């Protein structure tokens, strides 16, 4: 396998670095939030927490928050990062490269990374395949009774922000939030942003599943979580379908896709960025959708372009 990284150059020159600079869930978790780990990093703190989520059927879940140095003195804006299939909240935290922490620290932005599904429920079949069940929540609200705990949409959109606002009112400015993600998480970031445009200032995605109602990954997940009797209901979790009828404000949208991504260039195109691009053009929605030559689906790809994405959000958040 050939991996292309940083275009063959070990350079990082984003403008910010050069400057140095659904039904809402009611939650009362002030005493339930428990620290799981604490790590100092580039002058800030990576904090991992665990909590029982009402959205996830009172399952204990985890999430990580990176507090930049500025959060010790003032409230800072937030970027939510949603991970992909098989991942946890820690994948991006550990693999995206030091550049993200330098940039987040210098511009003063917190990063919040939730897990990708409920865990530990031992639902029959939850671990039978890597693309459904554990590690594969698809950021939707399941309607099939067996998967009633799989309500990642409510967790990310409502309960988690309410929890952050209640617990960190002196550190986080939730009125200035953006959202991004990778693969399944890119799908989640875009659908959540399009369904809740007033909650976010911008959205971006690496290798997102752009048209899940039309590809095997999405069809499998939606059939299992939502059932196959009302396939129109699937469209509320498909960014391409949402874009076709979109009437809301135009959040700045950045998408990067690698040309050597096996999920894009292989026998089955699970990602379908062209479908999203066509829908954006038809809707008159300005979007930057870039094909990156030679890059794959991995964190080598993400770490190469993560500064672009963080700068994209920093601009929308009024920081550059």
Q: What is the pLDDT of residues 254-296, one digit of tens each?
A: 999 999 999 999 999 999 999 999 999 999 999 999 999 999 9
Does residue 73 surpass a pLDDT of 50? Answer: yes
State residue 262's pLDDT score.
98
Q: Is 128 a catalytic residue?
A: no
Does residue 8 surpass a pLDDT of 80? Answer: no
Q: Is 183 a catalytic residue?
A: yes
pTM: predicted TM-score of the whole model, two decimal places: 0.90
297, 309, 312, 313: which is the annotated catalytic residue? 297
Encoded tokens for 55: 């959205």
State residue 120's pLDDT score.
94
As a whole number, mean pLDDT of residues 80-100 equals: 90
Enclosing H/E stretch for 253: strand 253-258
State residue 205's pLDDT score.
98
Query: Per-residue confidence at 96, pLDDT binned at 50, 70, 90?
Result: confident
Query: Per-residue confidence at 34, pLDDT binned at 50, 70, 90?
Result: very high
Residues with Cβ within 8 Å of 280's Cβ and at least 6 positions away in sequence, in order, are 243, 253, 286, 287, 289
Encoded tokens for 299: 């964190």
As a whole number, mean pLDDT of residues 23-37 equals: 61
State residue 166's pLDDT score.
96
Q: Is 297 a catalytic residue?
A: yes
d(CA 258, CA 264): 8
CA 271-61-118 angle, to 5 degrees, is 50
Sheet with 34-41, edge to edge strand ranges: 34-41, 44-53, 59-67, 110-114, 76-82, 172-182, 203-206, 253-258, 288-292
89, 261, 296, 307: which is the annotated catalytic residue? 261
53, 178, 183, 204: which is the annotated catalytic residue? 183
């Amino acid at each position: 396998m050939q991996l292309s990284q940083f275009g063959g150059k070990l350079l990082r020159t984003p403008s910010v670095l050069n400057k140095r600079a659904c039904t809402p869930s009611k939650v009362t978790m002030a005493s339930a939030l428990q620290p799981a780990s604490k790590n100092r990093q580039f002058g800030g703190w990576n904090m991992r927490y665990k909590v029982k989520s009402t959205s996830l059927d009172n399952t204990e879940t985890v999430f990580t928050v990176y507090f930049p140095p500025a959060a010790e003195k003032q409230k800072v804006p937030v970027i939510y990062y949603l991970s992909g299939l098989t991942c946890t909240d820690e994948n991006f935290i550990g693999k995206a490269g030091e550049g993200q922490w330098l940039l987040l620290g210098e511009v003063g932005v917190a990063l919040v990374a939730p897990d990708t599904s409920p865990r530990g429920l031992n639902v029959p079949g939850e671990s039978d395949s890597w693309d459904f069940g554990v590690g594969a929540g698809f950021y939707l609200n399941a309607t099939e009774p067996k998967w009633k705990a799989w309500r990642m949409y409510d967790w990310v959109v409502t309960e988690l922000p309410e929890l952050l606002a209640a617990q960190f009112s002196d550190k986080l400015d939730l009125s200035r939030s953006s959202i991004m993600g990778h693969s399944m998480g890119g799908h989640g970031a875009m659908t959540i942003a399009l369904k809740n445009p007033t909650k976010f200032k911008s959205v971006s995605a690496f290798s997102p599943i752009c048209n899940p109602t039309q590809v095997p990954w999405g069809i499998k997940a939606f059939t299992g979580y939502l059932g196959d009797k009302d396939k129109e209901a699937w469209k509320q979790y498909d960014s391409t379908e949402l874009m076709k009828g979109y009437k809301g404000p135009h959040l700045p949208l950045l998408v990067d896709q690698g040309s050597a991504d096996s999920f894009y260039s292989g026998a089955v195109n699970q990602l379908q960025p062209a479908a999203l691009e066509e829908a954006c053009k038809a809707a008159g929605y300005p979007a930057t959708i870039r094909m990156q030559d030679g890059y794959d689906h991995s964190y080598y790809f993400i770490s190469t372009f993560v500064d672009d994405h963080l700068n994209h959000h920093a601009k929308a958040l009024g920081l550059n």
